[in-house]
Structure 1
Amino acid sequence: MPSTAIVLAAGEGTRMKSNHAKVAHIILGKEMICWVVDAAAAGGCDQIVVVVGSHADEVRAIISDHYGTQANNDSFTPQVICVEQKERLGTAHAVRVALDELGSVSGPVVVLNGDLPLIESATIAQFVEAVADKSHAAAVLTMVPPDPFGYGRVELAEDGSVLRIIEQKDCTAEQAATLTECNAGCYAFDGETLTAHIGEVGCNNAQSEYYLPDMVQILRNAGETITSVCCKDYREGLGINSRAQLAELTALARDRINLSLMDEGVTFLDPTQAWIGPDCTVGRDTIIWPQTHLIGSTHIGEDCQIGPNSRLTDTSVADNCKVEETVALSVCIEEGVTVGPRAYLRPGTHLLAGAHVGTHVEIKNSTIGEGSKIPHLSYIGDTTMGSGVNIGAGSITCNYDGVHKHRTTIGNDVFVGSDTMMVAPVSIGDGALVGASSCITKDIPAGALALERSNQRIVEGYAAKRLERLKKGQE
């Protein structure tokens, strides 16, 4: 039976003190809202509705960038849509807005908060299953935190069903001491039952808002039963309302990911100083040095060394590579490549097997051939480079004329001397030699030597004569 997730992301998040939507804040390189949407998708939800409100355009753009439409995103099966809650009148009102958009809903409906980045897909799948056979009209997601103070407590009936949710301020001393299972703020419903009763939620409260927890009592009054699903790890139910909580949950997410990678054979010299995104992979026997950031869709092979002080975004690194003190953005690194220290690899860079990129080298939109070397202090942009090439220190491909970018083509086994300018568009043939300190503006045939220098002039004794003039004040 098809299942639906409604993700509540309309809140303003005033305690964040931000010009951005709360759910737009980044955790390990990924927007908070996307952690929840991805968990819902992996948990088996067939369609996902994100209810936006505050900073609606910003959240819509995030959803569009990550998921697009069902038609153009074959790898992402669920349909993800946004619907706007123009008046923020509470959580039950947000659910009504989503249901109005969907029309009739018959299968399970899971309502999740957009600020729960640690919720697991397995928990959501269990949540869906709790109402899938219609034996329960609803389920409440619960957790047992070390300190339950501040959370609504879940009171169970004798048959184990949920009797009611008691807010902290309404708890007696005995209830506060004995009721340790807390409401995580997420709910699952049988879709037909939810649709039939959501209109019964009232707004007779201090805020004049429609609160979704009221559905528990409404359904019980209708003779329905409500069950609970308890998180195996209470941290799945922790939300983010402040910068301090953002930092706290980022650290928890980091630790969870790094522990999982260590279980799979990855070595961390200090797991508290490596930040690996949830969509990244790392192969076994790879060593992650401190201050390493792997972001987006970054994939590291086996037997690599990554870091220290490196940030790789949407980058693939094959086996047996060493990447240290490097920033790489949308880069492909093949097997046996060494990079750094202090290298900058920009989008479109492709380093073929055995290539070497050294200290203070910047590469952009270029292919570096097998075994080719750019050891230090060079810029290579918009270049196709063959195999076995050696680029001397301080060499630059001059690819930009102020209006257009132009390409440089370097053949196999070319030797380029230090401090060489290659002014694109230009081509250097296989096996050519380029003398140091040359400015190459014309194509070089294969096997040729190219030199471009002014004649060196020597004036004997000039230094001593100049010093004497300076002493006399003549210069």
Structure 2
Amino acid sequence: MNSTSYILAVILAAGEGKRMYSKKPKVLHEICGKSMVEHVVDCAREAGTSDIVVVVGHGASQVKDKLETVKFAYQEQQLGTGHAVMMAESYITSGDVLVLYGDTPLLTPETIIKMQDFHRQGGFDATVLTAELDNPFSYGRIIRDAEGKVVAIIEERDADAEQKKIKEINSGIYLFNGLFLKDALKELKNDNNQNEYYLTDVIKIFNERNLKVGAYRIENPEEIMGVNNRLQLSQAASIMRRRILENHMLNGVTIVDPQNTYIDAGVKIERDVTILPGCMIKGNTYIEEDAVIGPYTTISDSHIGKGVNIKNSVVIENRIGEGTTVGPFAYLRPGNVIGKQAKIGDFVEIKNSNFGDYSKASHLTYVGDGDVGKGVNLGCGVVFVNYDGKKKHRTKIEDNSFVGCNVNLVAPLVVGKNSYIAAGTTVTRSVPEESLAIGRARQENIEGWVRRKGLVKEEE
């Protein structure tokens, strides 16, 4: 492998995050549908890194369960950033090493790519990612020489009055020559108040060896924002949400009220889709062009076809065909495949079912474990009785059948093509094609019964 093109990303994700006051590791807290560490891994991958090593510690098994196609190093004791990189030493080769943090989810692949270009074109042995802040308090300051090279990183507590005026700060993100980094790690010492090994000391070692250290300054300091508590988590989520919405709008999606629209990072939306206020679109949802979503609709991990209209509804793990209308107040639970030009009306609940093209369930209907053919009409109050107390059973309604209001379909059964089920019927056995099924008691009117029972209310 060409050492000039190989980049190992080392992501530090071992910290407990005490200020989150949480049972789960800090890096697993989510922003816009993904954990923070997943955002960082995706950033590194999209920036073209060759391999990714995540250094884990607190909640190691939980972090490992969340990530795929990465390698892991274990930091049993959290003894500083330099110590964390030491734990990944066995993975470091002659290529470059990019050091990232699992709690900086706003960093973009574009910034990493620009940093790599700057590093290589400048012939640097180490590059520090920096930013200028109006209020740099608490950050390490970047000290440059006349040629612009980094000669030191001075921490706030060690800076003198002039150095504290410097606004260029250290993000803690670095790009190193791997072999030089490996040698420098061997010389790190923990003779400080915290008894920790600091990665900033590697920069000092590089300078002592007359290696070339540069600094790539980013334009937007938001990208290097670290998340240490729930307030910062909320602030980072707000920034990422704004980015996501702006990207969709610039690609042809109408978002009527961005202040009240929430779209996860993994969502894909085609042009000419309209998102009305109050919507949450989550997970791996894909929405095709000309769809209208909302208002006040939640969609998760679903494929929404061209021209679909969903109002005031909840859709989870569904596939909905072209031109179908859903809602208001429908609940599409996981496992449904809804055909094209279908109608799922108000207060209709469907789960684990197939619902055919041009079929309708206009209101107040439950379809559970059903296979509904094409052109079927389900009247108001139809219930698929799918559960016998131990097992779920399926009901099949074949093409062009009509099911009247207040019908109970007790599974398992099949209603044949072009059949009719009379209103109020409880169907307990299959219905042949082109048949009428009726199963209700004959009506009798007993005249005078109310008066004889003394139940008539006389007018005053």
Q: Is TM > 0.5 for Structure 1 vs Structure 2?
A: yes
- Residues 212-268 of structure 1 show CA distances to partners (whole Å, capped at 9, x for unaligned) of 111110111111111112223111100100100001110110111111111111111
Q: Contact 2:141–2:154 at 8 Å: present in 1 too?
A: yes
Show the counterpart of 1:163.
151
Q: Verify: 1:234 aligned to 2:221, yes or no.
A: yes
Q: Contact 2:291–2:306 at 8 Å: present in 1 too?
A: yes
Q: 2:395 aligns with which of 408, 423, 430?
A: 408
Show the counterpart of 1:192.
179
Q: Verify: 1:173 aligned to 2:177, yes or no.
A: no
Show the counterpart of 1:423.
410
- 3-state secondary structure, aligned to 1:442: coil
- 3-state secondary structure, aligned to 1:209: coil
RMSD: 1.7
Map 1:364-443; keep pairs closer than 5 Å: 364-443=351-430
Show the counterpart of 1:31.
35
Q: Verify: 1:357 aligned to 2:357, yes or no.
A: no
Which has the larger displacement, 149-158 or 313-322? 149-158
- 3-state secondary structure, aligned to 2:55: strand
Show the counterpart of 1:96.
86
Partners of 1:134 and 1:161 in 2: CA distance:
10
Q: Contact 2:274–2:292 at 8 Å: present in 1 too?
A: yes
Show the counterpart of 1:74.
none
Q: How far apart are residue 130 of structure 1 and its match?
A: 4.1
Q: Verify: 1:114 aligned to 2:118, yes or no.
A: no
Q: Verify: 1:223 aligned to 2:210, yes or no.
A: yes
TM-score normalised over the length of structure 2 = 0.95
Q: Verify: 1:137 aligned to 2:125, yes or no.
A: yes
Show the counterpart of 1:71.
none
Partners of 1:232 and 1:381 in 2: CA distance:
54
The one-letter amino acid of 2:395's match is: T
Q: How far apart are residue 133 of structure 1 and its match?
A: 6.9
Q: Contact 2:450–2:456 at 8 Å: present in 1 too?
A: no
Q: Contact 1:134–1:190 at 8 Å: present in 2 too?
A: no
Show the counterpart of 1:75.
none
Q: How far apart are residue 349 of structure 1 and its match?
A: 0.7
Show the counterpart of 2:61.
57
Show the counterpart of 2:299.
312
Map 1:189-338; keep pairs closer than 5 Å: 189-338=176-325
- Residues 26-50 of structure 1 show CA distances to partners (whole Å, capped at 9, x for unaligned) of 1112111110000100000121111
Show the counterpart of 2:74.
84
The one-letter amino acid of 2:146's match is: E
Show the counterpart of 1:153.
141
Show the counterpart of 1:18.
22
Partners of 1:189 and 1:210 in 2: CA distance:
17
Partners of 1:134 and 1:227 in 2: CA distance:
8
Q: Aligned residues: percent identity?
A: 38
Q: Contact 2:14–2:57 at 8 Å: present in 1 too?
A: yes
Partners of 2:397 and 2:456 in 1: CA distance:
50
The one-letter amino acid of 2:294's match is: G
- Residues 406-461 of structure 1 show CA distances to partners (whole Å, capped at 9, x for unaligned) of 21111111111111111111111111111112111111111111111122232212
Q: How far apart are residue 181 of structure 1 and its match?
A: 1.5
- 3-state secondary structure, aligned to 1:60: helix
Residues 416, 160 of structure 1: CA spacing in aligned structure 2 closer, same or farther, 3 A cutoff? Answer: same
Q: Contact 2:33–2:266 at 8 Å: present in 1 too?
A: no
- 3-state secondary structure, aligned to 2:164: helix
Q: Contact 1:108–1:132 at 8 Å: present in 2 too?
A: no
Partners of 2:45 and 2:137 in 1: CA distance:
32
Show the counterpart of 1:72.
none
- Residues 70-109 of structure 1 show CA distances to partners (whole Å, capped at 9, x for unaligned) of xxxxxxxxx4122221111111111111123x2x512111
- 3-state secondary structure, aligned to 1:412: coil
- 3-state secondary structure, aligned to 1:376: strand
- 3-state secondary structure, aligned to 2:41: helix
Q: How far apart are residue 137 of structure 1 and its match?
A: 1.4
The one-letter amino acid of 1:385's match is: V
TM-score normalised over the length of structure 1 = 0.92
The one-letter amino acid of 2:31's match is: I
The one-letter amino acid of 1:238's match is: M
Partners of 1:335 and 1:244 in 2: CA distance:
41
Partners of 2:384 and 2:219 in 1: CA distance:
56
- 3-state secondary structure, aligned to 1:4: strand
Q: Contact 2:408–2:427 at 8 Å: present in 1 too?
A: yes
The one-letter amino acid of 2:63's match is: V
- 3-state secondary structure, aligned to 1:111: strand
Structure 1 runs not aligned, ≥5 long: 68-78
- Residues 364-401 of structure 1 show CA distances to partners (whole Å, capped at 9, x for unaligned) of 11111111111111111111111111111111112222
Paired residues, what number? 454
Q: 1:127 aligns with which of 115, 122, 138?
A: 115
- Residues 282-341 of structure 1 show CA distances to partners (whole Å, capped at 9, x for unaligned) of 122211112211111111111111122222111111211111222222111111111111
Q: 1:453 aligns with which of 425, 433, 440?
A: 440
Q: Verify: 1:5 aligned to 2:9, yes or no.
A: yes
Residues 145, 293 of structure 1: CA spacing in aligned structure 2 closer, same or farther, 3 A cutoff? Answer: farther
Q: How far apart are residue 132 of structure 1 and its match?
A: 4.7
Q: Contact 1:397–1:424 at 8 Å: present in 2 too?
A: yes
Partners of 1:130 and 1:106 in 2: CA distance:
19
